[in-house]
Structure 1
């Protein structure tokens, strides 16, 4: 299944997503210029930290952009309901359309989404069945990039040898301390916020419950038997190959599991 382009026209979401992109651009442009390249030129570090930093940064922005434009699982206006699964569909009381169980109507987007977890303003999109895996990758690589940036900020002052020559841009040289303080502040804020969100998402997958289901306290969903964590993660990422769970460039192929199996097994 190819990745369908999905745009949400929401100025508030665009603003939130723009803030995330600004933080990413700031760290990607200034951290290598202030820390990595100067110390590499003087032989304090190898090229490996530079390559790793840009690789993590690339994975982070790719997962962000793909999660924001991916179709989260929007239901068509006239869905084709298999005869064997009709009893596991229900009528939405907001848009009067048939939808499979565990779907939810997003008031901000104006349509129902299969296995919707929540609407995230930071990606300006819903998090649903078809882009949940990208949202998890975004949380993971944002934590990794923020942690890496904080470590570099610390090492620049307390571990690396002092630089002997200054060949930076004049603006960067004059405002080095301020730029690093801003980077450290943004890194702490991003790491703290994303870590809590990522933990919540992981617990939801382990228990096979979405955020909306947890908030609604649905006794039927809570009392159903739990599936093994390998199965729930495989359903979210669309593959049982665990190495592919970390690759944001691939196309997700959903595991063919009927909705009644997802609800009652």
Structure 2
């Protein structure tokens, strides 16, 4: 399935996405400038550490951009319902359109989304069947980048040797302490928040339950895992090749669409 573009007109969401992008840009600019490149020039770290940081940073921002503009699974007007699947569809009481079971109507976006998990203001988009995998990648790479940044900030002051061949008259190095304290604070906030969110998402996939279904307190039957974890993850990421679960550049092709195995909201 190709990546259909989807833009939500929501100023609050744009501000949230802008804040996340600012944090990413800040660390991507200042951490290499203040830590990685000077330490590499003095032989305290290898080029692999720099490449790993930039690779993680690229994967993080690609996941953010794609999750923000990807169609989460918006239902089109007057969808064609196969005769064999009529019992798997229902009428939405908000937009009066037929939708597959386990779909949900997003009041902020104004339409129904297939297997909607939740509306996330931090990507200014719904998290649904078609972009859930990108949202998981965003959580994963944000954790990785934030954790890596915190490790570098810590090692810069408490592990690495003091820098010598640095022009301390440069503005950026005169304010080094303040800049890295800001980086550390943002790293702690992002790492803690993303760890909690990522754990919630992983548990939802393992139990084959969306966030909306959990909040609606659906019956106990829906909260029990009835599929192997490999199957539930493969359905989210659209492939059984586990190495591809970590690649944000590819196209997702759903293994199958199955709405019958659980109750719905």
TM-score normalised to structure 2 length: 0.96
Segments of 5+ residues of structure 1 without an aligned counterpart are none
Provide the residue aligned with 1:195 in structure 2.
195
Question: Are positions 1:81 and 2:67 aligned together?
Answer: no
Question: Aligned ranges for residues 203-214 of structure 1 at < 5 Å?
Answer: 203-214=203-214
Query: SS of 2:145's equivalent?
Result: helix
Q: CA deviation at 1:224?
A: 6.3
Q: Distance in 2 between matches of 1:170 and 1:117?
A: 48
Query: SS of 1:260's equivalent?
Result: coil
Q: Distance in 1 between matches of 2:32 and 2:169?
A: 12
Question: Aligned ranges for residues 1-265 of structure 1 at < 5 Å?
Answer: 1-167=1-167, 170-219=170-219, 222=222, 226-261=226-261
Q: CA deviation at 1:222?
A: 2.3
Q: Deviations over 1:185-205 (max 9, x none)?
A: 000000111110000000000
- CA change 1:96–1:221 in 2 (3 A) is farther
- CA change 1:85–1:225 in 2 (3 A) is farther
Which consecutive segments of 4 or more residues in structure 1 shift more than 3 A?
261-264
Q: Distance in 2 between matches of 1:54 and 1:244?
A: 20
Q: CA deviation at 1:258?
A: 3.5
Query: SS of 1:259's equivalent?
Result: coil
Q: Distance in 1 between matches of 2:169 and 2:116?
A: 47
Q: Distance in 1 between matches of 2:234 and 2:103?
A: 19
Q: CA deviation at 1:169?
A: 7.7
Contact 1:102-1:115 within 8 A present in 2 as well: yes
Query: SS of 2:260's equivalent?
Result: helix
State the Cα RMSD in Å: 1.5
Contact 2:67-2:135 within 8 A present in 1 as well: yes
Q: Distance in 2 between matches of 1:223 and 1:242?
A: 25
Contact 2:208-2:223 within 8 A present in 1 as well: no
Query: SS of 2:67's equivalent?
Result: helix
Q: Distance in 1 between matches of 2:230 and 2:33?
A: 41
Q: Distance in 1 between matches of 2:29 and 2:224?
A: 49
Q: Deviations over 1:162-194 (max 9, x none)?
A: 111114781211100000100000000001111
Q: CA deviation at 1:218?
A: 1.2
Contact 1:85-1:259 within 8 A present in 2 as well: no
Q: Distance in 1 between matches of 2:37 and 2:145?
A: 17
Q: CA deviation at 1:161?
A: 1.0
Segments of 5+ residues of structure 2 without an aligned counterpart are none
Contact 1:213-1:221 within 8 A present in 2 as well: no
